[in-house]
Amino acid sequence: MIYLDNAATTYPKPEEVYQAMIESMKEFGANPGRSGHRLALKAGRAIYETRELLSKLFNIENPMNIIFTSNATEGLNLGIKGILKSGDHVITTSMEHNSVLRPLKALESIGVETTIIQCDKTGMINIDDIEKNIKQNTKMIITTHASNVTGTLFPIDEISKIAHENGLLYMVDAAQTAGVYDIDVKSMNIDILAFPGHKSLLGPQGTGGVYIRDGIDVVEMKEGGTGSKSESLIQPEMLPDKFESGTPNTPGIVGLGAGVKFILKTGIENIRKHEEELTEHFIRELKKIDKVKIYGPCDVSKQAPVVSINLGEEDSSEVSYILDKVFNIAVRPGLHCAPLAHKTIGTFEQGVVRFSIGYFNTHEDIENAVKAVREIAKEI
Amino acid sequence: MIYLDNAATTYPKPEEVYQAMIESMKEFGANPGRSGHRLALKAGRAIYETRELLSKLFNIENPMNIIFTSNATEGLNLGIKGILKSGDHVITTSMEHNSVLRPLKALESIGVETTIIQCDKTGMINIDDIEKNIKQNTKMIITTHASNVTGTLFPIDEISKIAHENGLLYMVDAAQTAGVYDIDVKSMNIDILAFPGHKSLLGPQGTGGVYIRDGIDVVEMKEGGTGSKSESLIQPEMLPDKFESGTPNTPGIVGLGAGVKFILKTGIENIRKHEEELTEHFIRELKKIDKVKIYGPCDVSKQAPVVSINLGEEDSSEVSYILDKVFNIAVRPGLHCAPLAHKTIGTFEQGVVRFSIGYFNTHEDIENAVKAVREIAKEI
């Protein structure tokens, strides 16, 4: 199987990730932060180590500002529903995933107002449109760092500048970029950063997190046992306990730590370079094939390693089915949980065939994908 | 290390659990329910298999009524915060964990009223007290199935009867019983059942779930991508998608499935019998030691395999520290995230030393624990 569905989840993971998870379960499978015995303490330290590694990667000063969640979606929900209140206005974009758009839609019922900035056909945002839409009651801007449909990279530096010049919070969905692109919450002045653990951070499914800058008033989504201030019926205010109730996903978080360690050891710039080279080559070769329509910027300097295409008017699910059955290539068709992005690029009916490249893909994988697309294009 | 902290999380897990997790990550580490390729379908089927196994264990008719969560706490929060609205009254008990009490406390601010039934010194509830406290606006009764402090088993059959005779919902926290005690949501008429995956169900940390009977109006906690109805910005109503947004914890859920398979293969009655025997023996031997005060029913027919003690007036943390450092025995001291339970049994200041027994504990473990307690008792 040639796996080109890394935007959904990366596969495989580095061998160290599997090993770290098994080791954590077999060697210190206790409940971290609950009891005081050595196994529980060891589990607690292992979780803290992952916080430190992520802090290093994202230049976060205090590891306690990282909240572990079960996926990026939970982090986005926490940031969105924990911050926005009745009467607030929020600005987002037409390239967002349903993990941003659906919580915002749900908040309409309590009187939160959303402006969705329309991006262009390649998924690019005109940042002047953000500035134009700021109102008296605007509280936050939320954008993706890169579209999961077209890969289009967003100018998060510039958007952050607009946000802070106008006294707004800026929340970034790094689902497609964390682990491949430089993210520095300090220099980029990001207030809330949501990230999955199981995509380019190379950890297992079931992990993710959200960084929340100090000084932002966020209501927790869940209350429960935190192993701290157990005498009180009131959820503690201290971080990360306020937002992390119940037993954490120790093996998952330890695996995520191993993934981040792999990234830091390999060098994020080397990972990016490899993925960019494959993406560039893939786009170049696809352009030579008749009937292939490529969406997005078609320029690796402007996009994450996601390449979405269609073959003439062929249904994207049909093409993906053939890629799987005949060519043993895994991609993702359809709408990718991002309906407005597909409306933006004009593929709401047809969907697209999305190829997404990961660090463990090889030049040969790309060659095989090109060959497969060429053959399918011939047949239709 | 003699591990007697199984009420926090069971350790070790059956070998099959580790193997299933690694296999899921190495063999089909794709995103279930998102793409249509064979790896994604395989992952989706594996998750469904766990739903089926849990349905068998709890006699749940439709596996889709099981919602996977990251722990029992999330399931409890979903049931509590998704159902109770301003003006509602809820009845619970003084033996509940903070995962029930803290969400209820938080709901006070929106006008949800809670009555906490005071249990007796052994943690037993007088069910007449429940009936007496039902009011016009009472919507739900929430109780644990067994206390995490004293092990005290609650008469959930009888409480369920009271609930339904009065047109109320009944929600059960099965954190200490799922996987050891018989739970049949049909015959016991349980409306909402929250359970951790990583305790007696023998799955990994990071897993849990909640069964929600059809026909109950529950608001979701999170919205996001569900891999279904992607064209819509509105969270789908179908189960389990309504409550399961974002990438699931595939390796965790697969591991949980392996844990449940182990239970079904071994026989839940054999597991219970083993744990009861050890608990009975432990209580019997502890009773012979001067200075040992045992809390709870002291009767295996009335309690889960949790035995909480104190040695004279000695601080529970100090005793636990010695058990760890000198005798290599892992227990949990303090308040166990259940402050009202400790007030109920009179140990709010001292805490208790909690020994909790799991299926993989042996007679020898218990003998060693008895010896250790005897020696510490001599010294103080």
**What's the 3-state SS for A280-313?**
HHHHHHHHCCCCEEECCCCCHHHECCEEEEEECC
What does DSSP say about strands A66-69 and A208-212: parallel, antiparallel, or unpaired? Answer: antiparallel
Distance from CA of A253 to the nearest CA of B (A): 9
Distance from CA of A162 to the nearest CA of B (A): 27
Upper half-sphere CA count for residue B155 (Cβ side, 13 Å): 12
Q: Is the pLDDT of residue B182 over 90?
A: yes
Q: Cβ–Cβ of A251/B226 closer than 8 Å?
A: no
- A207, two tokens: 């992990």
Residue ranges of the domains in chain B?
2-10+267-379, 15-266
Q: Cβ–Cβ of A230/B73 closer than 8 Å?
A: no
Q: What is the pLDDT of residue A233?
A: 95
| Burial class (CB within 10 angstroms; exposed 0-12, middle 13-18, buried 19+) of B123 | buried
Q: What is the pLDDT of residue B300?
A: 97
Tell me A152's DSSP state.
B
Band of residue A292 on the pLDDT scale cut at 50, 70, 90: very high
Q: What is the pLDDT of residue A345?
A: 97
In one-letter notation, the amino acid at residue A7 is A
Q: What is the pLDDT of residue A34?
A: 78
Q: Rounded distance, CA A115 to CA A135, Å?
A: 10
Nearest-10 crossing angle of helices B268-287, B250-266: 80
Q: Is the pLDDT of residue B34 over 90?
A: no
Distance from CA of B1 to the nearest CA of A (A): 9
- pLDDT, average across residues B319-342: 97
Q: Rounded distance, CA B44 to CA B250, Å?
A: 8
What's the CA angle centered on A149, arms A354 and A303, to 5 degrees?
Answer: 100
Band of residue A172 on the pLDDT scale cut at 50, 70, 90: very high
Which of A231, A320, A321 lies at the smallest CB-CB distance from B339?
A231
Strand order in the sheet with A138-144: A66-69, A208-212, A192-196, A169-173, A138-144, A89-93, A113-117
Q: What is the pLDDT of residue B33?
A: 82
Q: Rounded distance, CA A10 to CA A344, Å?
A: 26
Q: Cβ–Cβ of B35/A232 closer than 8 Å?
A: no
Q: Rounded distance, CA A335 to CA A341, Å?
A: 8
Band of residue A307 on the pLDDT scale cut at 50, 70, 90: very high
Q: Whose CA is closest to B340, among B111, B57, B52, B148?
A: B148
Q: Cβ–Cβ of A206/B102 closer than 8 Å?
A: no
Q: Cβ–Cβ of A30/B36 closer than 8 Å?
A: no
Q: Rounded distance, CA A246 to CA B195, Å?
A: 12
CB B271 within 8 A of CB B359: yes
- pLDDT, average across residues A81-100: 98
Q: Cβ–Cβ of B34/A3 closer than 8 Å?
A: no
Query: Residue written as tokens 């179908």?
Result: B238
Cα radius of gyration (chain B): 21
CB B170 within 8 A of CB B164: yes
Q: Cβ–Cβ of B5/A37 closer than 8 Å?
A: yes
pLDDT in tens, B233-283: 999 999 999 999 999 999 999 999 999 999 999 999 999 999 999 999 999
Interface with A, mutate which of B35, B97, B306 (most A CBs under 10 A): B35
Which chain B residues are within 8 Å of A337, Cβ to Cβ? 34, 224-227, 230
- A72, two tokens: 């990026």
- A279, two tokens: 């993406």
Which chain B residues are within 8 Å of A230, Cβ to Cβ? 98, 334-339
Q: What is the pLDDT of residue A11?
A: 98
Query: Residue written as tokens 């990360």?
Result: A240
Provide the percentage of residues in chain A whose pLDDT is more than 90: 98
Closest residue in chain A to residue B103, using alpha carbons only: A223
Q: Cβ–Cβ of A73/B31 closer than 8 Å?
A: no
Q: Is the pLDDT of residue B48 over 90?
A: yes
Q: Whose CA is closest to A43, among B336, B322, B3?
A: B3
pLDDT in tens, B87-106: 999 999 999 999 999 999 99
Q: Whose CA is closest to B284, among B300, B304, B302, B301?
A: B300
Distance from CA of B245 to the nearest CA of A (A): 7
Q: Cβ–Cβ of A233/B340 closer than 8 Å?
A: yes
Tell me A145's DSSP state.
S
Q: Cβ–Cβ of B224/A97 closer than 8 Å?
A: yes
Which of A74, A252, A334 lies at the smallest CB-CB distance from B252?
A252
- pLDDT, average across residues B130-146: 98
Does 3.20.20.70 match the CATH number of domain A15-266?
no
Secondary-structure breakdown of chain A: helix, strand, coil percentages, each rounded to the nearest 5: 40, 15, 45
Distance from CA of A101 to the nearest CA of B (A): 6
Strand partners, B329: B2
Q: Cβ–Cβ of B8/A234 closer than 8 Å?
A: no
- pLDDT, average across residues B189-204: 98
Q: Cβ–Cβ of A245/B77 closer than 8 Å?
A: yes
In one-letter notation, the amino acid at residue A246 is G
Distance from CA of B14 to the nearest CA of A (A): 10
Q: Is the pLDDT of residue B364 over 90?
A: yes
Closest residue in chain B to residue A342, using alpha carbons only: B231
- pLDDT, average across residues A78-93: 98
Closest residue in chain A to residue B324, using alpha carbons only: A37
Strand order in the sheet with A353-356: A292-294, A306-311, A353-356
- B142, two tokens: 């929430």
Q: Rounded distance, CA A353 to CA A319, Å?
A: 7
Instruction: Provide ipTM, 2 decimals.
Output: 0.98
Q: Whose CA is closest to B208, among B195, B191, B199, B223?
A: B195
Q: Whose CA is closest to A232, among B354, B351, B101, B73?
A: B101
Which chain A residues are within 8 Å of B208, Cβ to Cβ? 246
Residues 6+ apart with CB under 8 A from A273: none
Q: What is the pLDDT of residue B35?
A: 81
CB B251 within 8 A of CB B21: yes
Closest residue in chain B to residue A197, using alpha carbons only: B247
Q: What is the pLDDT of residue B380?
A: 86
Q: Rounded distance, CA B352 to CA A237, Å?
A: 26
Tell me how far CA of residue B15 lies from CA of A242, A243, A313, in angstroms.
34, 32, 50
In one-letter notation, the amino acid at residue A75 is G
- A126, two tokens: 């005109």
Distance from CA of A246 to the nearest CA of B (A): 5
Phi then psi for B113, rounded to 5 degrees? -105, 135
Q: What is the pLDDT of residue B199?
A: 98
Which of B3, B101, B230 lies at the smallest CB-CB distance from A98?
B230
Q: Cβ–Cβ of A205/B31 closer than 8 Å?
A: yes
- pLDDT, average across residues A327-340: 96
Provide the percentage of residues in chain B whose pLDDT is more than 70: 100
Which of A204, A223, A234 lies at the smallest CB-CB distance from B25?
A204
Tell me B13's DSSP state.
-
Q: Cβ–Cβ of A8/B31 closer than 8 Å?
A: yes
Q: Cβ–Cβ of A205/B249 closer than 8 Å?
A: yes
Which chain A residues are within 8 Å of B323, Cβ to Cβ? 37
Q: Rounded distance, CA B7 to CA A192, Å?
A: 35
Which of B69, B230, B249 lies at the smallest CB-CB distance from A339?
B230
Q: Is the pLDDT of residue B117 over 90?
A: yes
Tell me B300's DSSP state.
T
Which of B12, B222, B225 lies at the smallest CB-CB distance from A97?
B225
Q: What is the pLDDT of residue A314?
A: 96
Which chain A residues are within 8 Å of B73, Cβ to Cβ? 222, 224-225, 245-247
Phi then psi for B143, rounded to 5 degrees? -140, 160
Chains A, B: CB contacts under 8 A, how many?
Answer: 324
Q: What is the pLDDT of residue B90?
A: 98
pLDDT in tens, A9-64: 999 999 999 999 999 999 999 999 878 899 999 999 999 999 999 999 999 999 99
Q: Rounded distance, CA A146 to CA A67, Å?
A: 22
Q: Rounded distance, CA B130 to CA B21, Å?
A: 43
Task: Indicate the CATH number of A2-10+268-379 among 3.90.1150.10, 3.10.20.30, 1.10.287.70, 3.40.462.20.
Answer: 3.90.1150.10
Q: Rounded distance, CA B95 to CA B195, Å?
A: 17
Q: Cβ–Cβ of B233/A101 closer than 8 Å?
A: yes
Q: Cβ–Cβ of B13/A29 closer than 8 Å?
A: yes
Q: What is the pLDDT of residue A33?
A: 82
Q: Cβ–Cβ of B102/A224 closer than 8 Å?
A: yes
Residue-wise DSSP of B66-116: EEEESSHHHHHHHHHHHH--TT-EEEEETT--HHHHHHHHHHGGGT-EEEE
Q: Whose CA is closest to B88, among B114, B57, B125?
A: B114
pLDDT in tens, A272-284: 999 999 999 999 9
Mean pLDDT (chain B, rounded):
97
Q: Rounded distance, CA A366 to CA B56, Å?
A: 45
Q: Rounded distance, CA B294 to CA B308, Å?
A: 6
Task: Give the length of chain B.
Answer: 380
Q: Is the pLDDT of residue A256 over 90?
A: yes
Q: Is the pLDDT of residue B193 over 90?
A: yes
Q: Cβ–Cβ of A21/B251 closer than 8 Å?
A: yes
Q: Is the pLDDT of residue B190 over 90?
A: yes
Distance from CA of B345 to the nearest CA of A (A): 14
Closest residue in chain A to residue B329, using alpha carbons only: A37
- pLDDT, average across residues B184-200: 98
Provide the percentage of residues in chain A whose pLDDT is more than 70: 100
Q: Is the dihedral of CA B117, B142, B144, A43 positive or negative?
A: negative
Q: Cβ–Cβ of A36/B105 closer than 8 Å?
A: no
Tell me B303's DSSP state.
B
Q: Is the pLDDT of residue A218 over 90?
A: yes
Q: Is the pLDDT of residue B324 over 90?
A: yes
CATH code of B2-10+267-379, in short, is 3.90.1150.10
Which chain B residues are within 8 Å of A225, Cβ to Cβ? 73, 97-99, 102, 337
Tell me how far CA of residue B336 lies from CA of A126, A335, A347, B78, B97, in angstroms.
53, 46, 54, 22, 8
Q: Cβ–Cβ of A246/B31 closer than 8 Å?
A: no
Where are the alpha helices (H) located in chain B, listed in sequence order?
15-28, 38-58, 72-83, 98-107, 127-132, 156-165, 250-266, 268-287, 316-325, 339-345, 363-379
- A122, two tokens: 């390649």
